[in-house]
Amino acid sequence: MAAEPMTGAESVLRTLSAAGVRACFANPGTSEMHLVAALDRVPDVRPVLALFEGVASGAADGYGRMAGIPAATLLHLGPGLGNAFANLHNAYKARTPIVNVVGDHAVEHAPLNAPLASDVASVARPVSHWYASARDARGAATDAAAAVAAARSHGGGVATLVVPADAGWGPSSGPTAPMPVTPPAPVPAEAVAEAAAALRAGGPAALLIGGAASRGPALRAAARIAAATGARLIHDTFPARLERGAGVPAAQPLPYLTEPATETLAGLGHLVVCGTQAPVAFFAYPGLPSRLADPATDVRVLAGPREDAAAALEALAGELGATGEPPLASARVPEPPTGALDPSAIGAALAALLPEGAIVVDESVTASAPIVQATAGAAPHDWLTLTGGAIGQGLPVATGAAVACPDRPVACLEGDGSAMYTIQALWTQAREALDVTTVILANRSYAILDFELSRVGAAARGPAADALFGIGRPDLDFVGLARSMGVPARRAEDAETFTAALREALAEPGPRLIEARV
């Protein structure tokens, strides 16, 4: 008897696996059933259930930032993809490699206006560097190979592949071999020479780094260049993944707010940008500039996000003879804090206790600056931030980072308001026994909005602002929420209790949550 032909769904899964995909963050439905069944037959792709698609997409972002290879998501038609949208937006901005696999109606069913039929392509486009819809089961594996190659090309990006149900259940010709990855575009030698001339010109200069330049040998090359030329080394406000801590070259963060950001960049003769774009304000404000660099500064983008920033920095260091050891941040571990619990105390406790090689996911919003400052000399770690500005990413990103790096502890610093967008990520952390310590900055407020209200020149604070920015009524019980999802939790109202809770949480494997009443 002839063997049954492999389904299109299994050919897709086997193709993803052959191209290095090892995790699938999923919330499936009926149109994905053949893909679900195929997961059983392709055991090296780990299925991880998320109870909301925004958790799945954020987890894929955290995974991709840390693993450098894409995870898959498995999403249910347009509505499932739409639920995943905000965290896909964050991944898109971070240029995280991700392969979204989105089930859809069978091709002949799609035009009949069934309840879940929608314009999937229009949902996908703004958050996809690459998009395709498989035409049939025979072509689906080739599409899957192209999707992985696209997600890994040009330094990384989001690829979305729609798999209609009949492309999943129909007969295929088996998996397709991995397709070639297009590396980031090389930076022309003239651009390197021009950047070298700019940095040699004398006068105040700075090197602004982001993307691939914020870690590894690229970061070290940037630090060597800064040391050799006297340029200041500044990093993007919200890096996707920044290496920092004792023994790592220190870069100064570009502040979030327009005024201190323009002040940081004021008076520069030259600004060389590498791995990112020329800096712009997060929002426009009446009377404030949108472009952050001084209009008199010569701004030069040595390498944009799709270009080879690492090679450009090595070439620039070579051109400048910047061969010495770069200056490294020295260890600065504060005494454990005492007394009132505020962001500085949380930063001090974290700096004292952070294990070497930890991954810190920072969605602590108004608490972030003092925590960042306090941890500059902590044991070396990676710092993952809200690159796309859409809140609700911290808990999911921490989840995915922990799946990618099971041997590294993950600490997630999370605003209480931001936490509530995707709180069910805790359930996935418990189920997968992930080593994540979540610290909730429980100020019972959307504090940043209160602050921004006056900055944009809106009328005096009224009852609507109270109604829309206060989240303390009813009071959220994060300890109860965590425990209900299988995550042991404690509440801390002073620095001593917090430090003890953090020490315990970091020492234990598996997820823990601390509600820090600040």
Ligand X SMILES: Cc1ncc(C[n+]2csc(CCOP(=O)(O)OP(=O)(O)O)c2C)c(N)n1
Contacting positions for ligand X (CB under 6 A): 86, 365-367, 389-392, 415-418, 443, 445-449
Q: How far is the C-alpha of 303 from the C-alpha of 184, rounded, in Å?
A: 10
Question: Interface mask (CB under 5 A) for Mg ion, residues 444-483, using x and -?
Answer: -x--------------------------------------
CB 80, CB 29: distance < 8 Å: yes
Handedness of CA 41, 45, 49, 53 (dihedral sign): negative
Query: Out of Mg ion, ligand X, none, which partner does residue 499 contact, by CB within 5 to 8 A per kind?
Result: none
Piece in contact with Mg ion (CB under 5 A), picked from 96-104, 209-217, 238-246, 415-423: 415-423
Enter the tokens of residue 178. Answer: 């991995």
Contact between 160 and Mg ion per CB under 5 A: no
Amino acid found at 146: A
Q: How far is the CB of 276 from ligand X (least distance, A)?
A: 20
Tell me: does residue 417 bind Mg ion (CB under 5 A).
Answer: yes
Q: Of the two residues 61 and 416, which places its CB atom closer to Mg ion in the complex? A: 416
Concatenated DSSP letters of 420-459: TTSTTHHHHHHHTT--EEEEEEE-SB-HHHHHHHHHTTPP
**CA separation for the pair 436, 165 (Å, rounded):** 36
Which one of ligand X, Mg ion, none interacts with residue 389, CB within 5 to 8 A by kind?
Answer: ligand X
CA distance 136 to 353: 53
Instruction: Give the DSSP H or E segment for 501.
Output: helix 495-507
- Closer to ligand X by CB, 3 or 467: give it: 467
443 binds Mg ion (CB under 5 A): yes
Asked if 364 touches Mg ion (CB under 5 A), the answer is no
Q: Is 415 in the site for Mg ion (CB under 5 A)?
A: yes
Using CB under 5 A as the binding rule, whether residue 435 contacts Mg ion is answered as no
Partner in contact with 448, chosen from Mg ion, ligand X, none, beta carbon below 5 to 8 Å by kind? ligand X
79 or 389, CB closer to Mg ion? 389
Residue 500 CB, nearest approach to ligand X (Å): 24
Among ligand X, Mg ion, none, residue 367 binds (CB under 5-8 Å by kind): ligand X
CB 415 → Mg ion: shortest distance, Å? Answer: 4
In the complex, least distance from residue 366 CB atom to Mg ion, rounded to whole angstroms: 7
Sheet holding 205-209, edge to edge: 252-253, 232-235, 205-209, 270-274, 298-303
Task: Choose the contact partner of 86 out of Mg ion, ligand X, none; CB within 5 to 8 A by kind.
Answer: ligand X
Which tokens belong to 286?
């009446």
Encoded tokens for 335: 């005494």
Q: How many residues bind Mg ion (CB under 5 A)?
A: 5
Q: Which of 162, 365 has the CB closer to ligand X? A: 365
**In the complex, minimum distance from the CB of residue 294 to ligand X, in angstroms, rounded to a whole number:** 28
Buried b (16+ CB within 10 A) or exposed e, 153-172: bbbbbbbbbbbbbbbbbbeb
CA angle 100, 102, 103 (to 5 degrees): 155
Contacts of 45 (CB under 8 A, 6+ apart): 13, 16, 17, 21, 22, 23, 24, 39, 72
Q: Which stretch binds Mg ion (CB under 5 A): 226-234, 237-245, 397-405, 409-417?
A: 409-417
For ligand X, give the closer residue by CB, 308 or 416. 416
- In the complex, the smallest distance separating the C-beta of residue 497 from ligand X, rounded to whole angstroms, is 21
Q: Does 416 bind Mg ion (CB under 5 A)?
A: yes
For the bound state, the minimum distance from the C-beta of residue 443 to ligand X, rounded and expressed in Å, comes to: 5
CA–CA separation, 330 vs 325, rounded Å?
A: 14
- Interacting span for Mg ion (CB under 5 A) from 153-161, 373-381, 428-436, 443-451: 443-451
When the beta carbons of 79 and 389 are compared against ligand X, the nearer one is 389
Residue 347 touches Mg ion, criterion: CB under 5 A = no
Q: What is the DSSP string of 30-85?
A: GGGHHHHHHHHH-TTSEEEE-SSHHHHHHHHHHHHHHHSSPEEEEEEHHHHHHHTH
Q: Quick one: how far is CA 461 from the chain centroid?
A: 33
| Smallest separation (angstroms) from ligand X to the CB of 420 | 8
427 contacts 51 by C-beta, under 8 angstroms:
yes
For Mg ion, the binding residues (CB under 5 A) are 415-417, 443, 445
